[in-house]
Amino acid sequence: MTITLGPLLQSVNSPEDLKKIPREKLHEFCEQLRQYIIDVVSVHGGHFAASLGVVELTTALHYVYNAPYDQLVWDVGHQAYGHKIITGRRDQFVTNRKYNGLSGFPKRSESEYDAFGVGHSSTSISAALGMAIAAKYKGEEDRKVVAIIGDGSMTAGMAFEAMNHAGVANTNLLIILNDNGIGIDPNVGALKEYLTDITTSRTYNKLKDDIWNALGKLPVGNKFTRSMMHKLAESVKGLVNSSSNLFEALKIRYFGPIDGHNITKLIDTLNDLKDIPGPKLLHVITTKGKGYALAEKDQTKWHAPGTFDKVTGEIYKKKFDTPQPPKYQDVFGKTIIELAKQNDKIFAVTPAMPSGSSLKYMMEEMPDRAFDVGICEQHAATLSAGLATQGLRVFCHMYSTFMQRAYDQVVHDIAIQKLPVVLCIDRAGLVGDDGPTHHGCYDIAYFRCIPNMIISAPMNESELRNLMYTAQLESTQMPFVIRYPRGEGVMPQWQTPMQEVPIGKGRKLKDGRDIAILSLGHPGNFAAAAIRDVKQDGIDPAHYDMRFAKPLDEELLHEALSKYEKIITVEDGTVVGGFGSAVLEFMAAHGYKNDIRILGIPDRIVEHGTPKELHHECGYDAAGIADAIRQMMDVKVSLMS
């Protein structure tokens, strides 16, 4: 498909170019920007609905404010595609989320217009407040700072911590609450009901508008100040809608709600708010997926649909003639229902990822035993701990990168108390296009140093089922981590009978003669392919699937270290403090002097790309493992041009 630029969009290479467009033509610019996002994402993939919903808001922000001097801080960054296009990256946008291309999220090293790097939710208000405090300290009274946060991100405790500080910090911070009623999945909880109450209170909104219209016609003199007008309007808010006082109670002046797709209204409102001192919140109502009917109708499906036919809406999926392995997340989602039907003590918790975790199936079938708690990872962990104190077997599901936010709760509330919460860590390892904010690099290392933890990783779907079965048994009395990667497994026929796995016990997959491969988790499949590859060189490696990073299978380690002089460990986690480090510690404790190579994620930030590209870059795909085997065996490798 040929991607063409509208004439107004073609003229904009920076926010300064945008400001040259007459106001009456901005709605045309917005349509051209929206269409360009649709065209590019349909062909190249990426996050979709979120950026469509903020086209007018993004345009208004860059039209009114003087970025990059004025700081625009986006939350999460799913919605920042329009921002990237306006700020000089239009022609590079086709490389978005591709290897060596643009990041899918705002990134400070990519552009001076990206005031803060993001990927996780709910950081924008804290970061923007820090910038506003710094501007005040440096005497930059004309510098404006704006945080743009969605109602889904507003559910996280960090956002409220930041607002609690912002209310007394006396800075010119503007918080824009982009309210579209959905994050990735539909929002849940009391905050959702509160925002709905504000936006649907017809009496309040009509009376507020009538009051302001009337005040606007009064001959305002010295005795009737803007402050008095504000107090009168606020008293109306309190009379008509008591819940509208939440932000005001935090000493943040509340404005809105206003239509987030009315570009003229947005520009006028933002210009007015520039002149009002102190912390402020503007409540903007938008539609996620705006301008693409299918995305408006099914916002979860169109959050990041992959490539698609923009005319018919057909989302392109690979088609195969034979059965294919399922995604690990779906194995989890279907298996937990099987287990829950057998064990009425099983509960499940996820922080805002019911679709991504496939916990949605249990939530539909057993809604009283499976919970989405919103973007509240800390709460999810401690809620699980509370349930576990009452004898329930709780599966707490989080992505590896999001589990980092619940670390204290895992230590303080789960591990110290030896509560048998099952921590299912999805998206472990390199996740691909989302890049460094979403890679699951560190969980083996950060869990391994905590006492009372069991840390496991399945090599395939059957092993995942067996580990889940083992974790829910009454005999398992410690916190139990099961980590698995994003994407497909290796077993089309995956619904195997479940059986108990002895905790801390691995398995020898293949005996050998020359060298031993110790793998943890899914990369064991890469190791198996590498072993087949080096067979042509006459090399015969042994292969051990260790299953557990903690406790280690000491019997298998003694066998491998005693029998094989050369050892390679393979994992999809950081090589610093991970599974390979655990093997080194074991060797040091028992006086082994083997020649060892640790393969995994290196001690640096790994950028975005497909998982296949990143595994190869980091050297632990099948080819990288085979090369490491040949090097350790001192086999000469001839490179073909």
Task: Judge whether 205 is annotated as a binding position.
Answer: no
Residue 18, classed as helix, strand or coil, is helix
Which residues are 548's β-sheet partners? 456
Q: What is the spatial distance between Cα 283 and Cα 260, in angstroms, rounded to a whole number?
A: 9
Taking the C-alpha atoms of 448, 449, 453 and 455 in order, what is their torsion angle to the nearest 10 degrees? 0
Task: Judge whether 581 is annotated as a binding position.
Answer: no
Burial 132-147 (b: 16+ CB within 10 A, else e): bbebbeeeeeebbbbb
Residue located via tokens 């655990």? 582
Q: Which tokens belong to 21?
A: 């467009």
First to last CA, the chain: 34
Check residue 483 and report its DSSP letter: E
Q: Which tokens belong to 39?
A: 């065209």
* Nearest Cα to Cα of residue 414 among 437, 398, 430: 398
Task: Judge whether 153 is annotated as a binding position.
Answer: yes
Residue 559: CB atoms within 10 A of its CB come to 15
Contact 385, 353 (CB under 8 A): no
Task: Judge whether 151 is annotated as a binding position.
Answer: yes
Q: Which tokens belong to 153?
A: 């991100």
Residue 571, classed as helix, strand or coil, is strand
Task: Judge whether 65 is annotated as a binding position.
Answer: no
Task: Judge whether 538 is annotated as a binding position.
Answer: no
Which residues are 178's β-sheet partners? 150, 284
Residue 148, classed as helix, strand or coil, is strand
Q: What is the spatial distance between Cα 573 and Cα 570, in angstroms, rounded to a whole number?
A: 9
Task: Give the residue numbers annotated as catalytic, written as ranges.
Answer: 288, 377, 405
H or E stretch including 8?
helix 7-10
Q: Which tokens belong to 321?
A: 């003639």
Residue 91, classed as helix, strand or coil, is coil
Task: Judge whether 120 is annotated as a binding position.
Answer: yes
Instruction: Give the dihedral sign, CA 585/587/590/591.
Output: negative
- Tell me, what amino acid is at 32? Q
Task: Judge whether 292 is annotated as a binding position.
Answer: yes
Task: Judge whether 51 is annotated as a binding position.
Answer: no
Q: What is the spatial distance between Cα 614 and Cα 485, in angstroms, rounded to a whole number?
A: 14
> What is the rounded radius of gyration, in angstroms, for the C-alpha atoms of the chain?
27
Would you list which residues are annotated within the binding site? Answer: 78, 119-121, 151-153, 180, 292, 377
Would you list which residues are annotated within the binding site for Mg(2+)? Answer: 151, 180
Would you list which residues are annotated within the binding site for thiamine diphosphate? Answer: 78, 119-121, 152-153, 180, 292, 377
